[in-house]
Each structure stands twice: as structure tokens, then as C-alpha cells.
Amino acid sequence: AQSVAQPEDQVNVAEGNPLTVKCTYSVSGNPYLFWYVQYPNRGLQFLLKYITGDNLVKGSYGFEAEFNKSQTSFHLKKPSALVSDSALYFCAVRDDSNYQLIWGAGTKLIIKP
Amino acid sequence: DGGITQSPKYLFRKEGQNVTLSCEQNLNHDAMYWYRQDPGQGLRLIYYSQIVNDFQKGDIAEGYSVSREKKESFPLTVTSAQKNPTAFYLCASSIIGTFGSGANVLTFGAGSRLTVL
């Protein structure tokens, strides 16, 4: 069965430090991977996606993600965290059976001044 | 500005009542979706539609119903058969096409929070 996992419920980072939010996946074919962000009481916003090509994908707000096929991971990264990056982050993978997204449980990112 | 409008933002339901959540988009997207979000869980797909007058069940369709009479509108009814309806409901839309073209890049509304009294 296809699935996606976000092993950390919460990540705490000091402002200015690099951040990583982890995501691992399990799919039967080629993975189509996505990151979305949700601010409190709001809908989700698309950050970036990996379909094919370079393993390092750049997205919105200075975020990037590294695709690692051997480790079946797609970790979200940012070189220097901002307090405004504090939010809930979701990783998702495409379900090959119906082409819909399968979502991770989300990781709460807290950036402390 | 183009976007998705969900209403109402907050809704309270008594036991045994049906309630309808509105979702309207002016992005000219063909596909529309309804998700349910519960604390500590990822989004779960309720229904989706790729064309007017057609829709498919998602993973948790029981106790919910939808219609797609217009491209712009995709209302969700939470029926009395849904035993645990208290949740945050999110509507989304997207284009349809190959994945390099932007399919699965969803635009979300701000959500509707339903509470059962």
C-alpha cells in the first residue's frame, strides 16, 4: 500500500538556524511528492513538488526539498528559519490507484526568536 | 482576485440535522475536492469531482453527499448519518492534466469548522 509518514509531530528551531522537516514515503511506482503549509485556521498552500529531474527542488518562501530515492525520503529544508515560518507542514504523495494525494499527519514547526 | 470561497466559516449542528457547506471557485479549475481535517491526522478525502455532474467517493464518503451542477460550485452536505462530524472541512480545486502541468497542485479555501452540539 502506498503511504507517507512524517515522523516528527513537532520541530523546534531557533530563528536564523537551518530547519529540516522530515518525510518518508512508500509507493509502488515513481513517486510524485508534494509539500504544503497551513497557517492557523487557514487552508493549505502549495510549497513545492517533485515529479522528475533534479533531486533538489526549490519552492516558495525560500523552502527547498531533497528527494532521496534510496532512502525513500523527501525532506523539506530552509537554510535560515524565520519566525513567520511557524506553521503546520504536510507532505503528500500521489496515489497511483486514483491519482489523488495521500497526506502525512503533519509536522508543527515552531521557530523561536 | 481568483480563489476559493468557503462558507460559513463556523457552523453548529444539532444531532440529527443535515448541514450544507458551500464551496465556490473562480479559478476556472475543472477539478474540485472536499477534505476533512482532524487534529493530529492528515487530510482525508471525502469526495472529488473532475467534471460537472460527475463525482467520485474518496476514502471517507459515508455520511456525506455532494453535487456538481456548475463548474464553479461543489457543495458538501453532512448528513445525520455521519456519526462524528465535528471537524475542519477544506475545499480545494485544481486543473486536470499531466502531473508536470500542475495537476495535484491544489488551491484551498480557508475552511469551514463544523461543531456538533
What pLDDT score does A91 carry? 97
> pLDDT (tens digit, 9 = 90+) per residue, B61-114?
999 999 999 999 999 999 988 889 999 999 999 998 765 556 789 999 999 999
pLDDT at B19 over 80: yes
| Residue A110, φ and ψ in degrees, nearest 5 | -120, 120
C-alpha cell at A72: 525513500
B59 Cα to chain A: minimum distance (Å)? 10
Find which of A35, A47, A91, A103 to mutate to test the B interface (most B CBs within 10 Å of its CB).
A103
Q: Is the peptide bond before B8 cis (omega within 30 degrees of 0)?
A: yes
Is residue B112 within 8 A of residue B100, CB to CB? The reply is no
Closest to B87 (Cα-Cα) out of B117, B65, B112: B112
What pLDDT score does A93 carry? 94
> pLDDT (tens digit, 9 = 90+) per residue, A48-84?
999 888 899 999 999 999 999 999 999 999 999 999 9
Q: Tell me what the mean pLDDT of segment A87-110 comes to.
A: 93
Residues of A with CB under 8 A from a CB of B: 4, 9, 32, 34, 36, 41-46, 49, 51-52, 90, 92, 94, 98-106
B18 Cα to chain A: minimum distance (Å)? 24
Closest to A9 (Cα-Cα) out of A90, A94, A68, A66: A90
Q: Tell me what the mean pLDDT of segment A1-20 comes to.
A: 96
Q: Do B99 and A106 touch (CB under 8 A)?
A: no
Residues of chain A above pLDDT 90, percent: 82
Residue B33: Cβ within 10 Å count: 26
Q: What count of residues does chain A have?
A: 113
Please list, in sequence order, all residues whose beta carbon lies within 8 angstroms of the beta carbon of residue B1, skipping any fewer than 6 positions away.
none
How far apart are the C-alpha atoms of A70 and B115, rounded to whole Å?
Answer: 44
Find which of B29, B104, B115 to mutate to test the A interface (most A CBs within 10 Å of its CB).
B104
- Does B44 reach chain A within 8 Å, measured CB to CB? yes
